[in-house]
Amino acid sequence: MPQEDAPQSMSLSGRCAVITGASRGLGKAIAEHFVGAGASVMLLARNGADLAQVAGQLAPLAGMPGQLVCTFVGDVCSEQQCAAALTEAARRFGKLDILVNNAGVYGPMGPSEDVDFGQWVRAIETNLLGPVLMCRMAIPLFKAQKRGKIINLAGGGATAPMPWISAYAASKAAIVRFTETLALELREYGIDVNAVAPGALNTQMLQEVLAAGPAKVGQAFYDRSLKQLEDGGAGLTRGAGLVTFLASAASDGVTGRLISAVWDDWSNLPAHAGELAEGDIYTLRRIVPRDRGKTWT
């Protein structure tokens, strides 16, 4: 398990980042870690008032010369707004070093055949197509400078089925495979692309599950969520710390991985970058009979 104080040694001084979904929850925590580590940040979300409040809280932490905290009101589902956000970031910062695709929603809850299909599609747009759009806009900037960091937020839906929350599960599995694929496409340009599983967080999304109730999310998942609320969840610090690590030079060469903030010894991954590059550790893969000690095919 990673040390909780590990991110304190990860400098982002002189680096510039765009963080989506930065007006609350994990996105806000990531932004706070980034600013504390010396980065200039553009906070992107749909709610301008919330963004302004977060920016006001973070601005006093920006103590490095030239360090900026700015905002952009936009929706990652809009190609036009994604392009405008990245253009504005490049103008304000003069470059871009880091993209964090954090914006996400659970989407509709209930049996897949019954939920509102428009809401189902909207969840796919937010959780999958939005990050793809942001990556498409950022990659030319990264390629031009022969470096960059892309961090996509995944979650429990990426590694296990989530009955009654199918749009979330499908989108999070897809974003991990997209991450792995993009990492191979961009390796020769010095661009690292990784996905992060931050752990079970007590954010607004948890409240949405509890409000939906067991009839829509299933009794087992509802009971786990209620226990998570009572226990306090994984906390935001580990997830934000891992994202800070992956944004820093300390993680150079670690790419194409799905990394758990809670369970993986991520601060020591650079020592194993060669082994990671050669194998399928921390990736999605198909389980075959021999993986479970079976002899049948």
Average pLDDT over residues 70-89: 97
- With vertex at residue 55, the alpha carbon angle to CA 267 and CA 172, rounded to the nearest 5 degrees, is 50
Say how far apart CA 253 and CA 273 lie, in whole Å: 6
CA dist 84 and 94 (Å) reads: 15
Residue-wise pLDDT tens digits, 43-68? 999 999 999 999 999 999 999 999 99
User: Residue 254: left (phi > 0), alpha (psi -120 to 50), or beta?
Assistant: beta
The stretches of the chain forming alpha helices (DSSP H) are: 25-36, 48-58, 79-93, 117-124, 130-145, 166-186, 204-212, 214-217, 219-231, 236-247, 273-278
Q: What is the pLDDT of residue 4?
A: 44
Secondary structure class of 180 (helix, strand, coil): helix
What positions carry a catalytic annotation?
168
Q: Is the pLDDT of residue 11 over 90?
A: yes
Indicate whether this model's pTM tops 0.85.
yes
Task: Return the percentage of the chain with pLDDT > 90, whole number.
Answer: 76
pLDDT of residue 253: 95
CA angle 197, 202, 203 (to 5 degrees): 90
Q: Per-residue confidence at 205, pLDDT binned at 50, 70, 90? A: low
CA 101 to chain centre: 5
Q: Per-residue pLDDT averaged across 241-266, rounded? A: 95
Tens-place pLDDT, residues 136-159: 999 999 999 999 999 999 977 788
- The confidence score (pLDDT) of residue 191 equals 98
